[in-house]
Amino acid sequence: MGIEEERIAEFFDAYAAALREFDADATAALWGLPGMIVTDDFAGALESRADMAAGLASSYPLYRMLGLESAVPEIRAVSALTDRITTVRVRWSYLDADDEVIVTTDYEYLLRGDADGLRVYLAVGIDEAEALQRAARTRGVDLDLFG
């Protein structure tokens, strides 16, 4: 029962490739609609690919200032809920041009296998805000520039 782990790994490799390229449209295409993002400080659902792409792209200026060159997913846990719905815990490592870790952050995703492939329907940011704040302090990036 559930989505094959190899398929899940390939999905997150594609997601990482889109992040590395700062390609919000390619990343948004990996989401189902509506797509929901939940953190301790935010909860929102996006109902169009354009809104999803704009939301994803809003973090790119900070990632660029931190020096992000690569995103590497590490699948930490997979739990099949049904044959087509699975939760996946991913630890993301964001690397700079020297392949040094800028920050690691954990997310929990709800994936569904749709007719056209796997899609994220829910992403729960577990520690991203705190991790990015630490990285910004370490790298001398002023977070006030980002509102």
**Per-residue pLDDT, 144:** 75
Q: Give this prediction's pTM.
A: 0.92
**Per-residue pLDDT, 66:** 92
Q: Where are the alpha helices (DSSP H) in the chain?
A: 5-20, 24-28, 49-57, 60-66, 128-139
Instruction: Identify the domain containing residue 45 by its residue range.
Output: 5-137
Whether the per-residue pLDDT at 147 is higher than 80: the answer is no
**Residue 95 and residue 89 in contact, taking contact as beta carbons nearer than 8 Å:** no
Q: Read off the pLDDT band of 9 (50, 70, 90).
A: very high
The 10s digit of each residue's pLDDT in 74-94 is 999 999 999 999 999 999 999
In a domain, 145, yes or no: no
Whether the per-residue pLDDT at 146 is higher than 70: the answer is no
What are residue 31's DSSP bridge partners? 120
- Fill in the amino acid letter for 114: D
**Per-residue pLDDT, 91:** 98
In a domain, 18, yes or no: yes
In a domain, 22, yes or no: yes
| Residue whose C-alpha is closest to residue 87's, from 114, 68, 112, 117 | 112
Question: CATH no. for residue 38?
Answer: 3.10.450.50
**Per-residue pLDDT, 25:** 97
In a domain, 142, yes or no: no
